[in-house]
Amino acid sequence: MILGNLEIKEKAALAPLAGVADRAFRELCKGYGAAYTVCEMASAKGISLGDKKSAELLSITETERPAGSQIFGNSPETMATAAKKALEFNPDFIDINMGCPAPKVASSGGGALLMKNPLLAADIVKAVVEASTVPVTVKMRSGWDDNNINAVELAKRCEDAGAAAITVHGRTKVQMYAPPVNTDIIKQVKAAVKIPVIGNGDVIDGPSAAKLMEETGCDMVMIGRGALGRPWVFSQINAYLEHEVLLPEPTVTEKMFVMLNHIEKLCEYKGERVGIREARKHAAWYTKGLHGAANYRARIGLINSVEELRQIALELIEQNS
Ligand SMILES: Cc1cc2nc3c(=O)[nH]c(=O)nc-3n(C[C@H](O)[C@H](O)[C@H](O)COP(=O)(O)O)c2cc1C
């Protein structure tokens, strides 16, 4: 896929995942072959006010490239200011969030709420494109609710306003994450615009990635929940799309090794106190489905050091061998 001057070779990108896809996770997924990564969403208002937390969310390192920053907001001026600040962190592209259903985002008029106001949405894209020296992409849902499926109209307006690519999560804001993905809307968007379209929703492995691409004609797929505790999913998808090879799941030992490496990086980047608190959810995902894992759930929820997690990992390897 071509994005401005950027040539993206692989077909499966890591979705922006607030509270999950931080630097440690993005680097890990990139190492497994993610086509590109996207930072956790950052508030345009917070960025333009110089908020430290928002700046942290925009930081990008060389090992996670190609990588984009994602911003949300509902004012063209503030979004343009935020885009300029985001450029200080050298993103390869800037993504505009038009799909987030979270009350704190939508209630401020940004995220999925922009789907209700395509004219404002297009003004925002135009303002960000004018402010940006890198390509600007948009991530949207199929619409607000079943009576307002307007991704095609919105995608066309975004393209006219200068967007370089569109990601479509095939569900409405009201649907959140529940029903099956509406692949037809992704197909319709792909047919309606000339810029690349990235299909998103429920891709968890090679066959589901291939299916979404075949059904919709989308240029790439984006993976969110399918990568939680499974960063190797990108190598599985790449092997399937390139060679129709179904790579096996890693062994329990391999999984635990990846988990510990991930959590060590997380603690290195954020400090052990914050890192280990955030590690608990990752550890629950990595150990899901392992024999005896249910008995460890409570212990994982209480870990206070990498050493405690290492002990649990060793016990799980023992139980599963
Ligand atoms: C924990 C979590 C955090 C998310 N954070 C963001 C975000 O910051 N920005 C965004 O555009 N979408 C966000 N999403 C939506 C995902 O990027 C993706 O569109 C959605 O999960 C559907 O893809 P999937 O079926 O592969 O998970 C988030 C989803 C989850 C589960």
Distance 104 CA to ligand 1 centre (A): 15
Domains of the chain, by residue range, sit at 2-243, 252-319
**Mean pLDDT score of the chain, rounded to an integer?**
96
Return the residue whose CA atom lies nearest to atom 2 of ligand 1: 17
Q: What is the C-alpha separation between 161 and 226, in angstroms, rounded? A: 32
Give the Å distances, CA to CA, from 292 to 21, 40, 198, 231.
27, 33, 38, 22
Assigned CATH for 252-319 = 1.10.1200
Active-site residue identified among 39, 100, 158, 218: 100
Provide CB contacts within 8 A for 39, sequence distance 6+: 16, 21, 26, 57, 58, 59, 60, 67, 68, 69, 70, 91
Residues lining ligand 1, CB < 6 A? 15-20, 40-41, 70, 97, 99-100, 139, 169, 200-203, 223-226
Assigned CATH for 2-243 = 3.20.20.70
pLDDT in tens, 204-235: 999 999 999 999 999 999 999 999 999 999 99
pLDDT in tens, 41-90: 999 999 999 999 988 899 999 999 999 999 999 999 999 999 999 999 99
pTM of the model: 0.98
Q: What is the pLDDT of residue 11?
A: 98
pLDDT in tens, 239-295: 999 999 999 999 999 999 999 999 999 999 999 999 999 999 999 999 999 998 988
100 in active site: yes
Q: What is the pLDDT of residue 290?
A: 94
Distance 16 CA to ligand 1 centre (A): 6
